[in-house]
Amino acid sequence: MDWRNELGFTERLRVIQSLTTVYQQASSSAAFAEAQAEARRYENEAYNEANSKDEYDRMCQQAIDVALATKPVAGFTSSSDEVQDVFPDPEPGCSSEFPVGETFGRYRSCFHHFDGLHSTIYKSKAEDDTVRAVKITIPHLMTAPHDVQREARLLREAASPHVISLVETFNLDGGRLALVFPFLRYDFAHLLQRDMVTASQTRSILRDMFQALSHIHTLGIIHRDIKPSNILMDSPDGPAYLADFGISWKDGDPGSEPRDQKITDVGTSSYRAPEVLFGYKAYGTALDLWAAGCVVAEAIAVGHGELFDSGPVGSDLSLIHSIFKTLGTPDEHTWPDVHVLPDWGKVEFYTFPAQSWDNILPAVSSNGRDLARRLLCYQSSERLSADEALRHPYFSTS
């Protein structure tokens, strides 16, 4: 029987929809009708010329790869999509150029920018017109693994072109410590949520993330909170910087736990690696690479949704269920390290088969999909290192 007789209308429509989305991503100026027409043309060509279903799939994937490898003219034409780099207008009758704001040390006119769980970020313009982010910590919330003194130490040690620069630190009353950084307008999460980055910009940002990871891992530092919102930049064109070392770790640092007794309550919800979900305390830099794989998957996916779902309250069980449902429920053959996981076997999980990566990440470049696949391995020793990730074909795509 001809393979075409087994290829249903629904599957052909899914391929056309995937190609349409890709063509719109590759050219921000392309109208939907134009992208859909191009998608129908390529799908029809593959349908008519392929000699088998496998060849049809390869031809459609090749069309996706070619489209996503194209470097479109990037840029933002809508000011409503940008984070405005301005200070509040002065109050009527105020004689200064800017309203007074708050003062921290020598930083005046500090305006509230963001509230975190353990700190508050202010935006301040210095006398030389440079804009700074002033991070004021909240001492009574600084419980392990959060340690602002360690954060400052490791930031100084990790200084490099793709790690956020620590300008200075100073003490305030009440035991507060202020950390000062360059103010960067964007974080990667913001850009992804608003669909403000092209495929080539995404590739550049991810490359910068892996360069930062390669550097800090060489120093023995584990970041422990890799996620899109901790990748900052002043422009979607980059360069991108790794930020927020508040729970980072290094062996021998006075504020870090012993090597085999690391805290497992690290990372953010859906980016947490499976080994810490099962109580493994001797984890290494591969913890960051799992999270980086989650970032890669989110960055290249249509719609930029998180790959794994930890539920509305960030439940470990919900996250484990989501990982197992996606990658398949592991056993001692697919995850040999289960024997050293303290919490393995305490809960019996339904045995899910592994999904195909073509289904996990449809309508993405084959190289991008392969990069995510090679990072998101249960066995931490099988994950690509940051250096290996940088040598992956995804980053050599023209």
**pLDDT for position 27:** 62
pLDDT tens string 231-259: 999 999 999 999 999 999 999 999 999 99
Please, how many CA atoms are within 13 Å of residue 249, restricted to the half-sphere of its CB? 26
The pLDDT, as a whole number, for residue 398 is 46
Instruction: Tell me: do 194 and 327 sit in the same domain.
Output: yes
Q: What is the per-residue pLDDT across 298-333, written as a single tens digit (0 to 9) for each?
A: 999 989 999 999 988 789 999 999 999 999 999 999
The CB density around residue 241, as the number of other CB atoms within 10 Å, is 22
Q: What are phi and psi of 350, to 5 degrees?
A: -60, 140
DSSP annotation string for 111-153: EEEEE-SSEEEEEEE-TTS-EEEEEEE-GGG--TT--HHHHHH
Statement to judge: residues 283 and 208 lie in one domain:
yes
Higher pLDDT, 260 or 25: 260
pLDDT of residue 246: 93
For the segment 365-385, the average pLDDT, to the nearest whole number, is: 97
In a shared domain, residues 245 and 331: yes
CA angle 215, 153, 289 (to 5 degrees): 35
- 143 and 263 both lie in a single domain: no
197, 175: one domain: no
Q: Rounded to whole angstroms, how far apart are CA atoms 125 and 110?
A: 7
Mean of all residue pLDDT scores within the chain: 87
Q: Let me know whether 105 and 27 are in one domain.
A: no
The residue ranking higher by pLDDT, 364 or 79, is 364
Of the listed ranges 95-104, 257-266, 383-392, the least confidently predicted one is 95-104
Assign 3-state DSSP to the chain and report helix, strand, coil percentages, each to 5: 45, 10, 45
How many independent structural domains does the chain possess?
3
Q: Which residue has the tokens 């023995």?
A: 220
Domain identity same for 168 and 262: no
Q: What is the pTM for the complete model shown?
A: 0.84
Calculate the dihedral angle through the C-alpha atoms of 34, 40, 41, 43, rounding to the nearest 10 degrees. 140
Residues 120 and 114 sit within 8 Å (Cβ to Cβ): yes
CATH value at residue 366: 1.10.510.10
138-186: pLDDT as tens digits: 776 678 888 999 999 999 999 999 999 999 999 998 888 999 999 999 9
The reply to whether 85 falls in a domain is no
Task: Give the CATH number of the domain where residue 135 resides.
Answer: 3.30.200.20
Q: Nearest-CA neighbor of 357 among 341, 368, 346, 348?
A: 368
Q: How confident is the model at residue 2 (pLDDT cuts 50, 70, 90)?
A: confident
| pLDDT at site 301 | 94
Report yes or no on 324 lying in a domain: yes
**Could you tell me which residue, 226 or 17, shows the higher pLDDT?**
226
pLDDT of residue 98: 45
- Counted residue by residue, the chain has a size of 398
Q: Within 10 Å of residue 351's Cβ, how many Cβ atoms?
A: 10
Which tens digit of pLDDT belongs to each residue from 24-69? 666 655 566 777 778 888 888 888 888 888 888 888 888 888 877 7
For residues 51 and 291, which has the higher predicted lDDT (pLDDT)? 291
Which is more confidently placed, 48 or 272?
Answer: 272
Which residues does the annotation mark as catalytic?
225
Residue 176 falls within a domain, yes or no?
yes
Mean pLDDT calculated for residue range 351-373:
95
Q: Is residue 126 situated within a structural domain?
A: yes
% of the chain surpassing 90 pLDDT = 60
Is residue 203 pLDDT above 50, yes or no?
Answer: yes
> Tell me, what's the pLDDT at 28?
53
pLDDT tens per residue across span 84-96:
444 444 444 444 4
Position 1 confidence tier, pLDDT thresholds 50, 70, 90: low
- Claim to verify: residue 295 and residue 384 sit in the same structural domain: yes
What local confidence, expressed as pLDDT, does residue 42 receive? 84
Give the per-residue pLDDT at 30. 52
Owning domain of residue 49: 3-69
